[in-house]
Structure 1
Amino acid sequence: MNSDNPYNKYRKNAVITANQPQLAEMLYTGAVKFIRQAISHVKNDNKQEAHNAIIRAQEIFEYLAETLNEKADIAFNLAHLYDYSYRRLVDANIAKDAEILKEVLGLAESLRDTWHEARQIVAEESEHADNADKLV
C-alpha cells in the first residue's frame, strides 16, 4: 500500500481522529467488508483470498473483544457475540463455507447498524441539549 496515496492518508487521518464510537462503527464496517469479500472469494473458489479476508475479519472481532470496557453492562454479552463470531469465522475458513460466512455477516451488519443508530441518537440528544442551553 502506497503511503503517499492521498486516499490512504485520508483513511489514516480518519482513523486517528475518530472518537471511540466512530472507531467502533469503522471496525464493524470493516468486518462487513471483509466478510463480503470472503463470501465472493469462496464462491469463486479463490481459497487463498478467502482465507486472507476471513483472517482480516477475525482480527477485527479479536480487537473488538480485547478493547471492551468490562465495566459496561453490555460488555459481557458483546464478548460472547464477538467470541461466537470469531469461532464461526474459523469454522468458515476451515470449510470455506459461504453459508457460515453469511451467518456472521448478518451478525456484523446488525452490530454495525445498531451502533450507527445509537451514535445518531446520542448526537441528536447532544444537539438538542446544546440548543436548549442557547435558549436560556
Structure 2
Amino acid sequence: MSNLQAQNAYNAYKQNSVTTASPGELTLMLYNGCLKFMHQAKKGILEKNIEMKNTNLIKAQNIITELMSTLNMDLAVSNEMMPLYDYMNRRLMEANIKSDPSIIDEVEGLVVEFRDTWKEVIKFNRQKQFVGNQL
C-alpha cells in the first residue's frame, strides 16, 4: 500500500468515524480537538509562530462556541456549564492577545476535566444500555 493510499484510507476512516458517532462521542471528539488545537497554539507561542498560535486558538474557541450552542438550557447542569465555557473562551482570547501559554494551560485543565467527565457519562450510559438490553 502506497503512502497516498494509506492516507486516503485513514481519511475515509476518520470521516466514517465522525458520521457514525453518537452525539456523546461527537462531544468527546470536540473536547479532544480543542485540546489538540490548544497544544498546537502553545507550540506556536514557543516557536514564535504568531499565525500558528492565532489559527489554533481560534479553532479552539470555535469548538468551545459550538459546545456552548449545543447546551440544553432547560437542564440545571447546562446553566452551570455555560459560564465556564464563556470563561474559557475569554481566557483563550486573552492568551492569544498576550501570547501566554500559562493561560492556555489553565483552559486545558478545564477542558480535560470536562472531557474526562464526559467519558465517564458515555461509559455509564453504555453500561446502562447493556444492562437494559439484558433484561
Deviation at 1:41, TM superposition (A): 1.4
Aligned to 2:64: 61
TM-score by length of 2: 0.90
Detail structure 1 runs of 4+ shifted over 3 Å in the superposition.
none
Amino acid at match of 2:38: I
State the distance in 2 between where 1:76 and 1:11 align: 33
Match of 1:35 among 35, 38, 48: 38
Structure 1 alignment gaps of length 5 or more: none
Percent sequence identity over aligned pairs? 36
State the distance in 1 between where 2:65 and 2:99 align: 20
Q: How does 1:43-122 map to 2 (within 5 A)?
A: 43-122=46-125
Amino acid at match of 1:96: S
Secondary structure of residue in 1 paired with 2:119 = helix
Aligned to 1:123: 126
Secondary structure of residue in 2 paired with 1:64 = helix
Deviations along 1:5-41, whole A, 9 cap, x unmatched? 2222222221122111111111001001111111111
TM-score by length of 1: 0.89
Deviation at 1:105, TM superposition (A): 0.6
State the distance in 1 between where 2:12 and 2:82 align: 32
State the distance in 1 between where 2:16 and 2:84 align: 29
State the distance in 2 between where 1:107 and 1:71 align: 23
Q: CA RMSD in A?
A: 1.5
Aligned to 1:19: 22
Amino acid at match of 1:8: N
State the distance in 2 between where 1:9 and 1:77 align: 37
